[in-house]
């Protein structure tokens, strides 16, 4: 067992092995609980490598690109975080924070990968879960009835901003694969639909990214249009507990100096 007593060491290592091998294109999962070697994976095995470890995977361009991007976002660099975990100069708090950053980054990447693999109907349910979790739409039933009601005019759905339905938010959701970019024309089409509906609030959600031109265009609009890319989507899913569950809680306690203060 791991020191936490919550998971077996074997299961923990197998999980990370599957995660990295899938990112390297060596393993794929055709259905839940089933993992098979891809043609690239079989070719690697045919070369009879002495071992397959991180250094082996870094020799694969697609994994090297992912690993570099995985550690070069706005958050602390993964390699620096891993170094902090293992260095004796880091304080215990720094080691915990570094490890947490690594785990969170891996979870975000895993979340996006799973979302892209799902059906459009699943993606719609996910958006409903997230919006309700954030306080919009009243109940899941009400939100589900509103979302997906339009289905035309460049709008995928409409959801109440509050429980009384005093104002509404129009939603556009694009489930794109990694590498796809939502450009300014897509956002312009969505804004045109908002004008047609007489709306002034909209949320454009994608599993991929927005182009710089699309982001700049949205900032200068008279309407309030929020762009949520894959990075932000995964952050919100983690923050509001959608598609994730709590595995472990760690409490850090310090000495209470006031308790031992001598008032005599």
In a domain, 197, yes or no: yes
Residues 131 and 209 occupy one common structural domain: yes
Query: Model confidence over 29-65: pLDDT tens digits?
Result: 888 788 999 999 999 999 999 999 988 999 999 999 8
Laid out side by side, the sheet with 168-174 consists of: 157-160, 168-174, 201-206, 224-228
Q: Does 201 map to a domain?
A: yes
Size (the chain), residues: 264
- Assign 138 a pLDDT band (cuts: 50, 70, 90): low
Residue 179 lies in a domain: yes
246 is a domain residue: no
Name the residue range of residue 218's domain.
Answer: 120-228
Question: At 137, which CATH number?
Answer: 3.40.1350.10
232-249, pLDDT tens digit by residue? 999 999 999 999 998 888
Residues 126 and 224 in one domain: yes
> Alpha helix (H) ranges present in 33-119?
39-46, 54-58, 61-70, 78-86, 92-117
pLDDT for position 160: 81
- Note whether 64 and 4 are same-domain residues: yes
In this structure, are 124 and 55 located in the same domain? Answer: no
Residue 58 lies in a domain: yes
DSSP per-residue letters across 3-50: TTSSS-HHHHHHHHHHHHHHHTTSEEEEETTEEEE-HHHHHHHHT--S
| Better pLDDT: 78 or 194 | 194
The radius of gyration computed from the CA coordinates of the chain, to the nearest angstrom, equals 23
Count up the domains in the chain and report the number.
Answer: 2
Tell me what pLDDT residue 84 has: 47
Domain shared by 63 and 128, yes or no: no
């Amino acid at each position: 067992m791991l020191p936490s007593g919550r998971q077996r060491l074997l299961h923990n290592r197998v999980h990370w092995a599957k995660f990295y091998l899938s990112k390297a294109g060596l393993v794929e999962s055709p259905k839940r609980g089933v993992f098979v070697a891809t043609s690239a994976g079989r070719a690697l095995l045919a070369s009879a490598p002495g071992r397959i470890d991180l250094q082996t995977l870094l020799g694969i361009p697609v994994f090297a690109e992912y690993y570099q991007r995985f550690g070069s976002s706005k958050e602390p660099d993964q390699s620096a975080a891993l170094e902090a975990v293992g260095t004796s100069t880091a304080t215990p708090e720094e080691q915990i924070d570094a490890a947490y950053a690594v785990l969170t980054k891996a979870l975000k990447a895993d979340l996006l990968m799973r979302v892209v693999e799902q059906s459009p109907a699943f993606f719609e349910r996910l958006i409903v879960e997230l919006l309700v979790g954030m306080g919009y739409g009243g109940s899941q039933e009400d939100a589900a009835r509103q979302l997906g009601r339009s289905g035309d005019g460049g709008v995928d759905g409409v959801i109440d901003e509050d429980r009384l339905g005093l104002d509404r938010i129009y939603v556009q959701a694009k489930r794109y694969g990694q590498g796809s970019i939502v450009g300014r024309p897509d956002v312009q089409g969505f804004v045109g639909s908002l004008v047609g509906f007489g709306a002034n609030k909209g949320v454009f959600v994608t599993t991929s990214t927005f182009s710089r031109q699309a982001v700049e265009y949205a900032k200068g609009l008279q309407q309030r249009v929020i762009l949520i890319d894959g990075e932000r989507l995964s952050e919100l899913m983690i923050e509001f507990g959608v598609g994730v569950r709590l595995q472990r809680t760690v409490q850090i306690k310090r000495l209470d100096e006031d308790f031992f203060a001598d008032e005599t």
